[in-house]
Amino acid sequence: KAFTKASKKWQDELGQKSIEKDFKKMIRYCSVIRVIAHTQMKLLKQRQKKAHIMEIQVNGGTIEDKVKWAREHLEKPIPVDSV
């Protein structure tokens, strides 16, 4: 139940427009783009269950390129060697 309202935003047409508007604001006003990433503890086979969360700054290219890259990689696994 934690993210039910946020997940409905991606499915609704009005929500999609709102998300597009937010991305356009990022392109227009932001000078630095950062993504939040976490480890997949199930793949490590360790006793620890709590994932490590980190904020990573996206470098290279224009702000539009950075937002485009972040949007393409949303909810997808990203290997460390590709960063």
Tens-digit pLDDT profile for residues 20-48: 999 999 999 999 999 999 888 888 788 88
Tens-digit pLDDT profile for residues 55-72: 999 998 999 999 999 999
Fold (CATH) for 31-77:
Ribosomal Protein L3; Chain: B; domain 2, (3.30.1430)
Residue 4 reports pLDDT greater than 90: no
How far apart are alpha carbons 65 and 52 in whole angstroms? 27
Residue 5 reports pLDDT greater than 80: no
Residue 2 reports pLDDT greater than 80: no
Question: Residue 58 in contact with residue 34, Cβ under 8 Å?
Answer: yes
Give one word for 56, left, alpha or beta, with left for phi > 0 and alpha for psi -120 to 50: beta
CA of 50: how far to CAs of 38, 44, 69, in Å? 10, 12, 27
Residue 78 reports pLDDT greater than 90: no
Domain assignments of the chain as residue spans, ordered by start: 1-30, 31-77
